[in-house]
Structure 1
Amino acid sequence: MWTPVLLLGVVVLVLIWTQFVLYSSAGSPDRYLAEKIRDGYSNNVDSHYKKMKNTYRGAELVLGGSNSRPYRESLNVRSKGRKEPAGKHRVENITGISNSSRNGGLMMVPLFQIRKVNGKFHDKWVVLDATSGDCSSAVMTVLPGWTVIVVGEITASVECKPPVCLKLEVQENITQHHMTTEEERLWKRNAAYLTAISHKALQIFDADCRTASANALRVLGFKSTTASGLMYNGTLHFNPYRHFGAWGVVPYALHNISLDREANSRLFDPSSPPVYVGQMTFTPVISGCSMYLPQAFWGLILPCLSDATRCDIMRQYITQRMLREVDAFSAYHHVPSKLNTEAINASSSGVKHRLHKLDFDADKLAAFLDSWICQPGLTLFACFQALASSLELNGFLDSTDVQLVKAWLTSIKKLGVAEPPRVATPWRGVRKISEVPVVLEHRSEIERSLPAVSLQKNFVDPVKTLCAGKMPAQFASVAQWRQPLMTDIVLVIAFRYNKFLFKNLPYLETLHRPFFKHIVYCTPNVTELMTSAGSGNLSHVTLVEGMSDDWYLMYECMASVARLGIQGVRGYLQIGDDTLLNTWMLLNLSRDSIWLPQGFTKMNAHDPKHRWGWYHWTTIHGRLAVLRTLSDLERISGMTSDQILRLDPGYSKSASSQSKTFSQILLSVNTSSALRQHRLRGSESWDDPSQNEAVEFLTNYFRVNRMSGKVAHRALDLFYVPHVLRDTFVKLSRYFMRHGVIIELALPVMHHGMVPKSKVTYVKASSLWYDNRKKTDAFYSGNIVFLHPFKLKAQTETESGRAFFCDVFLQNLSSKLSKFNTTDK
């Protein structure tokens, strides 16, 4: 039976040093592929590891003054409670670090002897700190694919057997006369990191018993190469608790908050996406769950041995400052976890006292690190050492801490840890969406419910005034926003111009908040929007930057939002700000199929002129752009022209002379004309689809959907992509965006290659053109999914438009939705 526990959603944060996970110095957020990093790092480590065994065996590192003397002892890594029989270990000598006697200011570092248990170790390691709490609930010890190093004692009920679990101990004569209990604990953690590195680890999960969970490891599986998160580029300090919904909670590592109040569990919004913190920001959080990948192993060191809280915070701040040198980020993920409140309460008084007696000011430390500059020409590790010396001069570290950093850097070099190159000009400001997703601020559902008075006044009341008392009850109060009808769909509303967002926001919020839990607004320029007058009314909304090339690439909005990692959703629905949505028509649609409007025009790709004169067919975003995209997919597939053509069930040799692949059609086009090849800036770093993905696309396109030699197009003012197709959609959309394919060609062509038509729902719609746009009431009906366009602000200023919106549309929407009692499909 469990001891009393507290379910906390965000106190347990997962921290990732991310240039090497989701970001590269080129700015691409999805270049992380486990296989690539694993292969590259393994080759690097193998060569260094072989050299290490031959060159560094028996070596020792002595730091300090001239009177220092070598200090040799051994560090054993062995299973708990077992005496290992002879012949079952290999002993490898590696350089280690220690904090020895400070008499005379000397720092002596012993030689580690890491006892390696025979058998195959995993390349994923957990360093589990068991000195701060009961580890009986730490289920990582039995997770497949991970090797656990336990620092400290664990309960007898938890098995710890090699090679799955190792117990790290230090021989008594190392620490008996030289270290306090706290110093020994921190020294062991640093030693455990080196142990994992020496065994060629590719992932190191740094965990605390009180907060560690298998959920954290599952969240960080990185199976998706397209997932990303929100980007924060705000103030010097960032509070991830507020981001995840606990707006009034501050990090417990620096402040005295109660962890044993069950009410805290209701503060967190489990749907909040991951957040990525820029290099100009510091986060004073000790999460107890942190993930490191090889090129970030240098940041594992606890740079002092005096106090665990102080050292954890110092590591956090110093590493975040060093990330600036390599143009990288840190990331925070929401991970549900159980905290043993009995263990916390047993020692809380002492912990809280110590947290208030930190021997440095975190704000001053952040200010110093922000102003510190590393000299040009120094390597990253040299910068690290220089920063440690500067911190000593300014009273944040002492001389032994500086020597500790030096010993660490020497050790990891000898173990083959790669030294990332410094970036000459670190990125500053807001990145465009072609590089990483930019969201100025995410608002949780809990925050949205807090300023109810201002929300009512700024958004609902103007619409009530417009309709002069004819407002249905479902739309008359923000109270309806707290229980939205659809919690499993993210609604993406795209704006071509920033100026229309402020004008139309009251209408959009009033119409959609009662029905959609997740709404993201996509605009061309978030920074401009947030610095303009009226930005105060955006305090509750989530914004993402999109449309890098005007409306032509409006599907960039969907791709960006799909990469945000919003939890617990089944799909993503995009509309324009001038799309009038009959929301009730969505409730019975399959969440696992693609939704597109009915009525596509199919064209032969070899026709230079469109049969009814569609203007964009002959522009740089039209026929040539889609031909180049499809031709590249044929190339990536590795298939011959004959193999591609034979995918079509209607292919025959007698007609083969008339059948052409898209590559062959492109060769016949006069590409020397004035139509230059359009390439989206920043897209060079995006990964191409894999060969298998290209083959699957062509198979669907040619064989299943019979689109050989054809392309389709249509105006798209609404489309839906299920979560199960998220990765496929993101990869393909970015590939089509790279070539600048207009949305009206990109989505119609793309969906024919993604799935069979049987998995597509084609919905009824009214798309109005020319003079018909003045006759909205004549073309609107209750059996269509949407009507486009209806300019909410502009048309409701006319008598006829206002009458249609208030007397027809709102009333119809209210009566239909009131019949549905279910909240989810």
Structure 2
Amino acid sequence: DKWIVVTSLSSPTSDIYYLANITGWKLLVLGEEKTSNWSNVNCHFLSYNDRENELFTIKTLLPKGSYSRKTLGYLYAIVNGAQVIYATDDNYRPTDNLTNFNLETMEFGMRYSGQNLFNAYSHFGQSSIWPKGFPLEKISDQKSLNYHVGKFTTPSIQQSLVNGDPDVDSIFRLTRKMKSEHMNVLFDSVAPPVIVPSGVLSPFSSQNTLFLYDAFWALVLPISTSFKGSDIWKNYWAQRLLWEIGGNVGFYPPNGIRKRNTESHIEDAKYESAFYSRTSKLIEFLQNWRCNVELKFFKCVVKLSEQMYLNKFWTKQDVHVVKVWLKDLNHFGYIEPSRAPYVFPTTSNTTSEHLIRVVYKPTEQKQSQMQASKSILQSKWDQVLGITSFCNLTRYQITTKSLASKTYPNILLIIVFNFPIYDNIPYLQLMYGVKFSHIVYCGNSLEAYLKSSKKLRFSVSFLEVDVHRGYFFEKCLSVAMKMNHKVKGYLLIGDDTLLNSWNIPSLPLDKLWFHQHELLLRDKSSGWHWWNKEMGNTVFNKTWEYLLQQSLTDPSKEQIINSYMTRLEKATGSNLGLYHGASDIVYIPIRFKSQAIYLFDVFSKHKVFMEISIPSVVFGLDDKANIVNLAGQYLWYDGKREHVPELFRADQIFLHPVKL
């Protein structure tokens, strides 16, 4: 029930054969009038004169040679049982076998919380680039860094970005690209996907884009506007209509590289002139348009299409195409989405969802030709200059080898503050920014962070999480995981944990890392004083009973819970066993993400102290023999904290605490 739809003017390319062999997907190639007939065991080929086309009323409205004829391919896939449709071109090859997209009903993720417009290219690390169809007069506007993390309905339309030569307009190509060279734009492949909420618009084409069943109506293509712009404006139209069914658009990290032939950008600019002059008016019109709450969804689709014509964004023929398209969909059994009328935001209807406020600063990527970015703070040399300035009383030698040291782009570093001492962020960024390209800071107060951030020369990512004076670090770890960075693992440290990052290459990224741990028994008292506190024995036992009950009543959690309890019993040697231990540093590989999120959330809900919850979760995720014991030191209240310089060891992973 998963279909790939492309059009082709020629014999099958190597990219077509690649698409045909993606496991679990059916490929439909729609031929044009001059396309030779061909066949492939893994492919449906629909020729220009194929009689199956005659079943579709809309065929008579689609001009020969028009890109809008791809509508026939979409309809063919729908008639043949498609539940998911991936739209792309015959010259593009996704390198991930389409695993980048999300087909689940709900997902943890990050949702933009700015207003009106969203630039997906900026989110993925190219702040000076704009997608085709983005209003030129809005390019230099201040970009919001405000997001929410939570559990959301999976976006009905999902676009994965492409590296190399993405969809940009001819103004960009004329001013930012060397004429004789191919573009080589690189987006951040680690950045988290983002959901664009109702009320916000973002331009995108239908190339390398996934449509879920409830968005199939949005696959229709207008016939009057030029190929250069029709798809973009149509998708603006589709986004506004998604708001009426509670749907959203989502953008995902790049999943391949596109190269294009050199084209006449001057000619393109002429074709795109309507883009430059009228897109802002289209956006304003769409954001102000309303559909009567009593109308069903397809009536809203028709009403908006008619208004697009009356406001001269579409022609009367486009409206007719939409009406016939909807009739074809109804005739062949497509189920019209249920209406959930969009409520325009006011000060009295702000969201009541349980969401985490986030400031997300994209990691700036290498710029394309003829560009220079002033916002790339984390170059090696900038870092060296910062450190030498800060440590100006110390003598040391900078070698070529030290400048070429290893970095960790596949680890998300999470730094948690017990208390809102956010003025220390510049020093932490100075120490770790050169090694870790993706860092998030976490603490109790976003307002306190924003106040401190006014003193910074740069922005960072920040999660507002109540860690209750440092008792619940695992809450930050769970929220950071829910952002969905495409990393190999998550490394959490306290803001007063000194991390010797040069030793990390010796550690396996597919294994759990932890330090010391001690055995506790659920039915026994302990000399460890935290076990007898309100965050200890009593709440842990309540958590355990909750997990047992969930394993019996929630089939979706049964395997996670049973596996967890079995491994923890094996590790401790007792069905009453658990662990406690200092937890100011821990690493969770990506393969344990879903289990860790669930378990940490349960322990957080019951307010279990992190020095119980973190080690007890870690040793319930994998066999004890597979867990890496981190070399490091915790300095307690026995006088050692006064002798940090003497106790520091460069060959260890960490030292705690080191107060800045």
TM-score tier (shorter): 0.7 to 0.9
1:710 aligns with 2:574: no
Change (3 A) 1:469 1:744: same
1:220 equivalent to 2:100? Answer: yes
* Counterpart code for 1:787: L
Change (3 A) 1:328 1:787: farther
Distance 1:776 1:407 in 2: 76
Query: What is the one-letter code of the residue matched to 1:494?
Result: V
Return 5+ residue gaps in structure 2 as ranges. Answer: 133-166
2:527 to 583, 602, 611: 611
Are the equivalent residues in 1 in contact too, given 2:407–2:434 (CA < 8 A)? yes
Q: What letter matches 2:122 in structure 1? A: R
- Amino acid in the other structure paired with 1:194: L
C-alpha separation in 1, matches of 2:60 and 2:592: 61
The structure-2 alpha-carbon separation of the partners of 1:513 and 1:570, relative to structure 1 and needing over 3 Å to count, comes to: same
Equivalence map 1:406-425=2 (5 Å): 406-414=323-331, 415-422=333-340, 425=343
2:439 corresponding residue in structure 1: 519
2:424 & 2:31 partners in 1: Cα distance?
Answer: 59
* CA displacement at 1:127 relative to structure 2: 1.4
Partner of 1:375: 292
Alpha-carbon shift at residue 142 of structure 1 (Å) = 3.4
Q: Could you say if the C-alpha distance between residues 744 and 298 of structure 1 is closer, same or farther in structure 2, counting changes exceeding 3 Å?
A: farther
Give me the whole-angstrom Cα distance separating, in 2, the residues matched to 1:787 and 1:201.
56
1:397 is aligned to 2:327: no
Contact 2:11 2:38 in 1 (8 A): no
| Equivalent of 2:416 in 494, 514, 521 | 494
| TM-superposed deviation, 1:771 | 6.8
Aligned Cα root-mean-square deviation (Å): 4.2
The equivalent position to 2:77 in structure 1, one of 186, 191, 196, is 196
**2:14 pairs with 1:128:** no
Structure 1 residue 332 displacement after superposition = 1.7
Q: 1:149 aligns with which of 21, 25, 28?
A: 28
Q: Work out which of the residue numbers 586, 597, 600 in structure 2 matches 1:719.
A: 586
Give CA-to-partner distance per residue, 1:672-716, whole Å, 9 cap, x none: xxxxxxxxxxxxxxx985322222222212235424112222231
- Structure 2 residue 645 is the aligned partner of structure 1 residue 762: no
Q: Which one-letter code corresponds to 2:284 in the other structure?
A: A
Measure the CA separation in 1 of the matches of 2:67 and 2:635: 70
TM-score (norm 1): 0.64
1:631 corresponds, among 532, 535, 545, to: 545
CA distance in 2, matches of 1:248, 1:132: 36
Residue 442 (structure 1) aligns with: 362
Larger radius of gyration: 1
Relative to structure 1, the CA distance from residue 733 to residue 534 in structure 2 (aligned partners, 3 Å threshold; closer, same or farther) is closer
1:292 Cα shift?
A: 0.9
CA deviation digits over 1:412-447, x for unaligned, max 9? 345232514416657899989964784533223438
* 2:510 partner letter: D
Q: Tell me by how many angstroms 1:160 deviates.
A: 3.3
Tell me by how many angstroms 1:449 deviates: 7.4
Give the secondary structure class of the aligned counterpart of 2:421.
helix
1:741 is displaced (CA, Å) by: 3.2
Matched residues in 2 for 1:242 and 1:482: separation?
28
What residue number does 2:146 align with?
none
Could you tell me how far apart the structure 2 residues matched to 1:571 and 1:379 are? 46
Closer, same or farther: CA 192–267 of 1 in aligned 2, 3 Å:
closer
Distance 1:142 1:160, change over 3 A: farther
SS at 1:265's partner residue?
coil
1:126 is paired with a residue whose SS is strand
Counterpart for residue 155 of structure 2? none
1:248 aligns with 128
CA distance in 2, matches of 1:346, 1:571: 42
Q: In 2, Cα distance between the equivalents of 1:552 and 1:203?
A: 44
Q: CA deviation at 1:460?
A: 7.1
| Residue correspondences, number | 608
Deviations 1:280-335, CA, capped at 9 Å, x for gaps: 33222326111011122232222554433333112221222233334443222233
What is the rounded CA distance, in whole Å, between the counterparts of 2:108 and 2:657 in structure 1? 32
Specify the code of the residue in structure 2 equivalent to 1:602.
Answer: L
Partner of 2:305: 388
Q: Deviations over 1:584-638 (max 9, x none)?
A: 343322222211121x23322134x653432x7442x443433233334334445
Take 1:133 and 1:242, find their aligned partners in 2: how far apart are those partners?
37
- For 2:135, the equivalent position in structure 1 comes to none
Mapping of 1:100-139 within 5 angstroms?
Answer: 123-130=1-8, 135-138=13-16, 139=18
CA contact 1:129–1:151 (8 Å) conserved in 2: yes
1:622 and 1:423 map into 2 onto residues whose CA distance is 47
Percentage identity across paired residues of the two chains: 24
Query: How far apart, in 2, do the equivalents of 1:313 and 1:350 lie?
Result: 18
Amino acid paired to 2:87? D
State whether residues 243 and 342 of structure 2, in contact with CA within 8 Å, keep that contact through their aligned partners in structure 1: no
Look up the equivalent residue of 2:421 and give its one-letter code.
F
Mapped to 1, the partners of 2:25 and 2:590 lie a distance apart of 29
**Matched letter for residue 512 of structure 1:** Y
Q: Determine the C-alpha separation between the residues in 2 that align with 1:142 and 1:760.
A: 38
Cα deviation digits, residues 3-50 of structure 1 (max 9, x gap):
xxxxxxxxxxxxxxxxxxxxxxxxxxxxxxxxxxxxxxxxxxxxxxxx
CA distance 1:289–1:549, change in 2 (3 Å): farther
Residue 273 of structure 1 aligns with which residue?
A: 192
Q: Is the 8 A contact 1:575 1:719 kept in 2?
A: yes
Counterpart-to-counterpart distance in 1, 2:540 and 2:339: 38
Rounded Cα–Cα distance in structure 2 between residues aligned with 1:488 and 1:769? 32
Give the Cα separation in 1 of the matches to 2:327 and 2:467. Answer: 45
1:85-136 residue CA offsets vs partner (Å, 9 max, x unmatched): xxxxxxxxxxxxxxxxxxxxxxxxxxxxxxxxxxxxxx11111132599855
Q: Distance in 2 between matches of 1:175 and 1:416?
A: 15
- Over 3 Å counting, the alpha-carbon distance change for 1:603 and 1:401 in structure 2 is same
Amino acid at match of 1:468: N
Of 377, 382, 392 in structure 2, the residue corresponding to residue 468 of structure 1 is 392
Give 1:504 deviation, angstroms. Answer: 0.8
Summarize the Cα distance change of 1:692–1:629 in structure 2 as closer, same or farther, 3 Å threshold: same
- Higher RCO (CA 8 Å, separation ≥ 6 residues): 1
Partner of 2:114: 234
Q: Paired residue for 1:788?
A: 656
Which amino acid in 2 is paired with 1:145?
G
Stretch moving more, 517-526 or 170-179 = 170-179
For structure 1, list consecutive stretches of 5 or more residues without a partner in the other structure. Answer: 1-122, 640-686, 793-825
Instruction: Work out the CA distance in 1 between the residues paired with 2:236 and 2:375.
Output: 33
